[in-house]
Amino acid sequence: MAEAILSAVLDQLASLIRNEVEQKVRLVVGVREELNTLDTHLTLIKAVLEDAEKKEIHDKAVKVWLGQLKDVMYDAEDVLDEWNTRILISANGPHVANRVRSYLLSLCACFKHVGVRHAIVIAHRIKDIREVLDKIALSKDRLGLVQSHSHEEPRQFTSSVVDVSKVFGRDHDKQEILSMLCKTSQQETQVRIPILSIVGTGGFGKTTLAQLVYKEATFKLKIWVCVSEPFDRERIAREIIAHATIKTFRSVPSALHQLTCLRSLDLSDGLIYSIPSEVSRLLHLRYLDLSFNTRLKELPETVRSLVNLQTLKLNSCYGLRKLPEGIGELSNLRHLEVEYTGDLKYYPRGGIERLSQLRTLSKFVVSDGSSKGSVIGELGNLNFLKGRLVITRLRNVKSVNEAKEAELQKKKNISGLVLNFGYSTMARYWKRQ
């Protein structure tokens, strides 16, 4: 559906205008007016989208209109994301800006302008998009599209990772699906691709069953893509192609060069020893899953350049020893998952406390007092945390006053808290009633 991409562009517009004010970054002359006009057009168009998507089945003119809207929305999302990223980079200081500057020309390939000053390029592209959108907005009235008041919440991202120890009674279903997949893949020709749907009421474990099948399937190429709700065929196709490219390229860095506009990347359950420094080219990336790469020991420092990243999953990376020193520069990070990372005994000093938007932090490690390691007080600023939090190596806390700096009483949304003092007999578990 066009609503998914249109909503994303509206979010980008709001973020762009907000950041421009907060960081006191001056827009190119006339661009603010263009942005305000874009926002007005998109808000009005969004109101009639549900009616348009009902009518496109029988009305070819409406179908063409929706196609034109999607095309310009994809272009708008890339352009606004580029501008917003530049603002975030400048806010993080010159050390990030200098490291990323050499990569920005490759990002311009997303909207087919290379070798021109970025601000001027973006300004012209925004104007072009606004002019196209003017015509689309006028056409909605001619097509007789009316406003709808219903709203459909987007589905949350899922990954292929599943904890099999928490799943019971699915072995028969799993084996039956695996058998069907193997049988159909042998019978079908290379032209036809077998599709197997898992259908059922919400909450019955369809996703979990699919995760179990994915984990045990032995196909040469396996790709997990989270299907959006509302359904967006174009974006799903792009994501499948991107993941296939990553997994089939012999050189991961060369693949990263070609996927600079990627938003989501799942490299979980693989055999990755290291992440190339070229990952910093993925400045549009929102979601990165590296879970179950058991031989991965560290992430490159260039990860700090992924200023748009919202979710970073490192669950069951058993060999992971440390996080990047510049992790605090990931200002948009909402979810940092590091469950089952027993070798991770060091968080960089001053990094976690800068991630004030964190909603998920599965584990926090208190250092032994070294100047480079994290201290308990860094939790004080993370008042949006929710769910379960594990705090390890609490024996390194020197005093009651130091412990109070964590301000755990302000974290109202934490439902479970594990306190580990570094000895197996000293763990304490508390659950909010």
Give CA–CA dist 3/70, Å, rounded: 9
Q: Specify which residues 287 forms β-bridges with.
A: 264, 311
Helices (H), 48-117: 49-55, 60-91, 94-101, 104-107
Per-residue confidence (pLDDT) for residue 81, from 0 to 100: 77
Cα dihedral: 221, 224, 229, 232 (round 10) = -30
Better-scored residue on pLDDT, 428 or 392: 392
- 45: tokens are 């168009």
Total Cβ atoms within 10 A of residue 162 = 20
* Distance separating alpha carbons of residues 383 and 356, to the nearest angstrom: 8
270-290 per-position pLDDT tens digit? 678 888 888 888 888 889 999
Only one residue has tokens 């192609």, namely 241
**Which of residues 187 and 147 earns the better pLDDT score?**
147
3-state helix, strand, coil in the chain (%, to 5): 50, 10, 45
Least confident of 92-96, 211-215, 232-236, 424-428: 424-428
Looking at domain 221-431, which CATH architecture does it have?
Alpha-Beta Horseshoe (3.80)
Peptide bond into 324 cis (omega under 30): no
pTM for the full predicted model? 0.62
More confident residue, 248 or 83: 83
Chain mean position to CA 176: 33
**Per-residue confidence at 298, pLDDT binned at 50, 70, 90?**
very high
DSSP H stretches of helix in 230-338: 233-248, 252-258
CA-CA distance, 231 to 233, in Å (whole number)? 6
37 pLDDT above the threshold of 60? yes
